Structure 1
Amino acid sequence: MIGVEDAGRCVMVEYLVIGAGPAGLQMGGFLHRAGRDYLIVESGPEPASFFRTFPRHRVLSTDDNSLFEGVPFARYSKRSFPSADDLVRYLEDFARPLNIRYGTTVTDVDAYQARHVIVATGQKPYLPRLSGIEHAETYATASTDPTEYAGKRVLIVGRGPSAFETADNISSTARLTHTVGRAVQRIVKDGTEFVATIDGTGELRYDRVIACTGFRRDTSLDGPGVHVLSGDSIKAIRHAARALHRSLEAEHHGVPWPHRRLRNRPDALAATIATRASEIPDGLADVVVTQGQHALLYDEMPTTERNGFVVTRTQVRHYRRNELLAVERRLHRKPLERFFSEQLAVPCIS
C-alpha cells in the first residue's frame, strides 16, 4: 500500500496515478472499472490542464479523441478539427466519477513508498539548445492576435504542428513568414530587429522570432519501479494505458490477458494478421501462440514479448524461446500465407 498525506492524515491506496490528463484519466478509468483501490493526484485545480492552454489557437488536429469505455467524443463535436474546449469538456465529464485529488503536487515518488505508481504527467514546452533562442518569444507566450503581426517579418523556429498552426494564424497579416527548423544556427538581437543565421541561406533580418519547437515529456518523476504512461496522441495514450493495465492485472491480480482463438492454419492466420497489422498502435504488438489445432491471439501487448509470432505494424517476427527464427515484412495475405506455411511446416491451402 502507499500513503498519501492529506491535511495531516495518511490515506492508503494501492495504485497512485500522477496526472489527470488523458493518460491519467484513462488509467483511472480502467482501475475504477476493475474495482481496484486507486487515487489520481493532479497538481492543478481541474483535469486536462494541458488542453486548457494548448493548442494556443484552440483547434485540435484530429477528432480521434475518445477514451476507452467512455462516451464517444463525437457526442461533443462533429468537426474533423474540433475545438480544444470541446476536448476539455469531454475529459471533465470522463473524470467526474473517478477518485481524483486536485491541488496535489508530487515532487518525490520515493516519499510515498509506493507499491504501484503510474506517472502520467504529460508534456511541457521544449526549447532546443540554440544560440540566441532566449531572444525569441515562445509558442506558449506569443500573442495569438494576428493583427499584432501586421506588416512584420516573422521567423517561426520549428517545423511541427505548433509551428504551422502559428504560421497559418499570422500569415494573412504578416509582411512575410518564414518557418524554419534545424537550419537555424544562431539568433542575434540587433536593436529592435533580430538577425538569424540560417544554413544554406545566410543572415536574414526579422521583426519578431517565435520558437515553436514542440513539447517533451516531463521525466522528473521517472525512476526504478515507476510505470510511465505517455503517448504522442490520445489514440496512442488510450492503447498504451490499456496495455499497461492488462499487464498490471495479469501480474498482480491473476487476470489473464484477453485473447481469442484462431484456426492454426496458414490461410486463417494470414487473413487475420493482414487485417490486424494496420490497426496495431506503435510500440505494441499482437502475439500469436500456436497450440495444436488452434492458435491464441493476444492483442496489443508490449513488444518485449519473445515467444510465438510477434506482429507489429511493419513486420511479423517468429520467436521460439526468445530465439528469432524468421521475419516477414510483406503484410499481405498471400505473402503471409506462404510465411506461415513455411513456419508451421504445413502446405499452403489454396
Structure 2
Amino acid sequence: MEYLVIGAGPAGLQMGRFLHLAGREYVVLERSPEPASFFRGFPRHRVLSTDDNWLFGGAPFSRYSKRSFPGADDLVRYLEDFARPLNVRYDTPVTDVSEHGARHVIIATGQKPHLPSIPGIEHAETYADASTDPTEYAGKRVLIIGRGRSAFETADNISATARLTHTVGRSVQRIVKHGTEFVASIDGTGELRYDKVIACTGFRRDTALDDPAAHVVTGDSIKAIRHTVRALHRTLEAEHHGVPWPHRRLRNRPDALAAAVAARASEIPDGLADVVVPQGQHALLYDEMPTTRRHGFVVTSTQVRHYRHNELIAVEHRLHRKPLERFFSQQLAVPCIA
C-alpha cells in the first residue's frame, strides 16, 4: 500500500479525498463501524460553535444546515456522505502502524478528553460522562473546571436549574470528597463546598500511534484541519510524485507584492504561511505552506519575515499596504512607488 491513513474523522477523510482525486493507492482505516465517531459523542449538547464545517472537495455544508450554530448530527451526516466514495475500511483498529507495510503513513486519530493532574480530580465527573439533563442539577452547587468551549457549554446548560454554578480555570489546587460533598481548594478564594464537580478540561491529541516515520494531521477546528491536510498533501505530492506546489506569478515590485500580501494575510490559517520568492521581473507566490520554509518572504497572518539563504534578514508586523510597500521597497532595494 502506498498510503495508509489512520482515522475516518475530518482529517482522515480530507486526506483520503485528496489521495482519491490524485489517483494514489490508499486506504483509510477506522476502528469504529462508521465515520466521524468523535462527533457522534461530542459536543455533548449537540450544538457546534461555528458553521464553517466544510471540507475541500465536498458539498457545501449549507445543504445540511443553514444555522449559524448547526447541530452536531448535521456534521455527522455531512461526513458520512463525504466518506462514501472513498476507500475506507471500518471496524479495523490499528495497534502498530508498521504492520501494514505502507510506504507513507498519515495519522489522523483526532483528539480525546484530557484530565489535568489535579489532586483528587478522580472524584470529579467529566465532560464525557456528566449528565446533559439540566434537572439532574436542580438545587445543586456545581463546580465546573475549565474555561474552554466545553466548560461554558456545560455551564449554559445547567445554569437555569442549579443553585449556583462556578466556572474555574487553572486555579483549582485540590479536590477532596467528604461524604456526598466535594471540597475544592481554589487559589485566591480558599475552600468551597459543592454537590457536584465536572471536569471540562478540553481535549488533547491522541498520541497512542505516534511513529517517527509517520505524518500527523490534527487541528482545533474543521477549518484548521482542512488547510493543514491540504498543505501535507501538497508536500507529499511534491516530494514523492514530482507535482509542483501550486503557485501564481506576481510582478516583482513593492506595490504588487504589498497588495497581494495585504489581501492574503487575514486568510492564512494558523501554522501555515504564504511564501513569496522573487525571481527577476516576477515573484512566485506559494500559498499556505508549512512555516518551516526559510526562503524568500514568509507571510503569516501576523507578520512577514524575509529570509536570505535561510538567514532571517527583516521582519514586518504591519500588514497594511503602505507599510508593506515600504518594507518590500527596502528589502528589494528598489524605489517605493508610493
TM-score (norm 2): 0.99
The yes-or-no answer on 1:253 pairing with 2:238 is no
- CA deviation map 1:139-159 (0-9, x unaligned): 000000000100000000111
Correspondence for 2:294 among 287, 306, 316: 306
1:320: Cα distance to partner?
Answer: 1.0
Residue 85 of structure 2: aligned partner: 97
CA displacement, residues 240-274 of structure 1 (integer Å, 9 cap, x when unaligned): 00000000000010100000000110001001101
Per the TM alignment, residue 113 of structure 1 is displaced from its structure 2 partner at its CA by 3.2
What is the CA distance between 1:111 and its match in structure 2?
Answer: 2.0
The residue number in structure 1 matching 2:272 is 284
Counterpart-to-counterpart distance in 1, 2:80 and 2:88: 11
User: Matches of 1:284 and 1:37 in 2, distance apart?
Assistant: 27
Give 1:214-233 correspondences, 5 Å limit: 214-233=202-221
SS in 2 for 1:243: helix
Give the structure 2 partner of residue 43 of structure 1. Answer: 31
Percent of residue pairs identical: 83
Question: Which position in structure 1 is the counterpart of 2:162?
Answer: 174
SS at structure 1 position matched to 2:19: helix
1:267 matched to 2:255? yes
Distance in 1 separating the partners of 2:135 and 2:307:
60
Superposed CA RMSD in Å reads 0.6
* Other-structure match for 1:107: 95
Task: Give CA-to-partner distance per residue, 1:76-131, whole Å, 9 cap, x none.
Answer: 10000000000000000000000000001111112223310000000000000000
1:130 counterpart SS class: coil
**Which residue does the alignment assign to 2:192?**
204
CA distance in 2, matches of 1:198, 1:326: 45
User: For residue 156 of structure 1, what is the aligned residue in structure 2?
Assistant: 144
Partner of 1:237: 225
- Correspondent of 2:67 among 63, 73, 79: 79
**In the alignment, which residue of structure 2 is the partner of 1:323?**
311
Matches of 2:325 and 2:319, distance apart in 1: 10
2:47 to 53, 56, 59: 59
> 2:12 corresponds to which letter in structure 1?
G
Q: Which amino acid aligns with 2:277?
A: V
Q: Deviations over 1:259-303 (max 9, x none)?
A: 000011000100110111110001000000011111000000001
Counterpart for residue 88 of structure 1 = 76
Q: Tell me the amino acid that sits aligned with residue 193 of structure 1.
A: E
Cα distance in structure 1, aligned partners of 2:291 and 2:137:
48
Select which of 127, 133, 147 maps to 2:121: 133
CA distance in 1, matches of 2:271, 2:160: 40
State the distance in 1 between where 2:196 and 2:169 align: 16
Matches of 2:232 and 2:210 in 1, distance apart? 16
Cα deviation, 1:142-177, whole Å, max 9, x if unaligned, reads 000000100000000111000000000000000000
Determine helix, strand or coil for the equivalent of 1:81: coil
Distance 1:318 1:211 in 2: 44
Match of 1:344 among 320, 328, 332: 332
What is the alpha-carbon distance in structure 2 between the residues aligned to residue 205 and residue 271 of structure 1?
A: 58
CA distance in 1, matches of 2:244, 2:279: 17
TM superposition score normalised by structure 1: 0.96
Does the residue aligned with 1:52 lie in a helix, a strand or coil? helix
1:193 to 166, 181, 185: 181
The answer to whether the aligner puts 1:293 opposite 2:281 as a matched pair is yes
Equivalent residue for 2:106, pick from 110, 115, 118: 118
Aligned to 1:6: none
Q: Does 1:21 align with 2:9?
A: yes
The residue that corresponds to 1:7 in the other structure is: none
* In structure 2, C-alpha distance between the alignment counterparts of 1:177 and 1:22, rounded to whole Å: 34
3-state DSSP class of the match of 1:240?
A: helix
Q: 1:302 is matched by which residue type in structure 2?
A: P
- What 5-or-longer segments of structure 1 have no aligned partner? 1-12
Deviations 1:306-337 (A, max 9, x none): 11100001110111110111111111100000
Provide structure 2 residue ranges, at least 5 long, that are not aligned to the other structure: none
